[in-house]
C-alpha cells in the first residue's frame, strides 16, 4: 500500500478502491478507478512496485470473497480496508522508521512522490496527469521547492 502511494502517487481512497483486475501484469499497467476528481487513469507500474504487488497478491493476501487488492489481515480477515485502517498502518510505519511523532497522514507519501519527480525535472502537466488533477494549482500545492538547494544558484543583485 505504501509503495503504491509513494511510487505511484495514489490517494488512500484509490488504494482502497484497487481491484485485482485493475492490475495488468503483462503490460505492467495499473488502472486507477475514479475517486475524488471523478477521473480514473492508467499508470505504468515500476518493476519494484509490480514485484511487491505480485508477492502480496499471490503469497500474502488472505483468501477472500472480495476482489479488492488490499484487505484486512489480523481482524476482519479479508474485509476491504478503510481509510482509518490505512492511516493507522502508515502512522505505525512512520513510528517504526523513527520519523517525527507528528507524522501521521498518508498524503505525505503523495507529496513525496511529486517532490521527488520535480527534483528530477518533471514538468507540471505530466505530474497533474499522474495525480489525476484537473488544475495545475492542485499539483503545484504538492510540488515543494527546495529553497535551500536553490540558494547557491542565486546571483548577487546588481548594484
The full set of domains in the chain, from first to last, is 2-145 (1.10.443.10)
Phi/psi at 80 (5° precision): -60, 150
Phi/psi at 120 (5° precision): -85, 0
- The single residue of 36, 48, 76, 83 carrying the catalytic annotation is 36
- Please report where in the chains the cell 513525496 appears, as a residue: 112
Active site residue 26: no
Q: Please list, in sequence order, all residues whose beta carbon lies within 8 angstroms of the beta carbon of residue 85, skipping any fewer than 6 positions away.
A: 72
- Please report where in the chains the cell 509503495 appears, as a residue: 3
Active site residue 72: no
Active site residue 142: yes
Q: Rounded to whole angstroms, how far apart are CA atoms 29 and 139?
A: 22
Question: pTM, whole model, 2 decimals?
Answer: 0.77
Cα torsion through 98, 102, 108, 111, rounded to 10? -110
- The single residue of 28, 41, 107, 108 carrying the catalytic annotation is 107
Whether 5 contacts 15, CB under 8 Å: yes
Per-residue pLDDT of the chain (159 residues; tens, 9 = 90+): 999 998 998 988 899 999 999 999 999 999 998 776 677 789 999 999 999 999 999 999 888 888 999 988 777 777 788 888 898 889 889 889 888 888 778 888 888 888 888 888 878 777 777 777 776 666 666 665 556 665 666 667 776
Active site residue 107: yes
Amino acid at each position: 500500500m505504501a509503495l503504491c502511494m509513494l511510487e505511484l502517487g495514489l490517494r488512500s481512497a484509490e488504494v482502497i478502491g484497487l481491484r485485482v483486475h485493475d492490475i495488468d501484469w503483462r503490460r505492467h499497467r495499473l488502472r486507477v478507478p475514479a475517486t475524488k476528481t471523478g477521473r480514473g487513469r492508467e499508470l505504468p507500474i515500476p518493476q519494484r512496485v509490480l514485484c511487491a504487488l505480485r508477492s502480496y497478491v499471490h503469497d500474502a493476501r488472505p483468501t477472500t470473497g472480495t476482489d479488492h487488492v488490499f484487505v484486512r489481515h489480523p481482524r476482519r480477515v479479508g474485509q476491504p480496508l478503510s481509510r482509518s485502517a490505512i492511516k493507522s498502518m502508515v502512522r505505525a510505519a512512520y513510528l517504526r522508521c523513527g520519523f517525527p511523532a507528528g507524522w501521521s497522514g498518508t498524503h505525505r507519501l503523495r507529496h513525496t512522490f511529486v517532490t521527488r519527480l520535480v527534483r528530477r525535472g518533471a514538468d507540471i502537466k505530466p505530474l497533474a496527469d499522474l495525480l489525476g488533477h484537473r488544475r495545475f494549482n492542485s499539483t503545484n500545492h504538492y510540488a515543494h521547492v527546495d529553497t535551500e538547494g536553490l540558494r547557491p544558484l542565486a546571483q548577487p543583485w546588481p548594484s
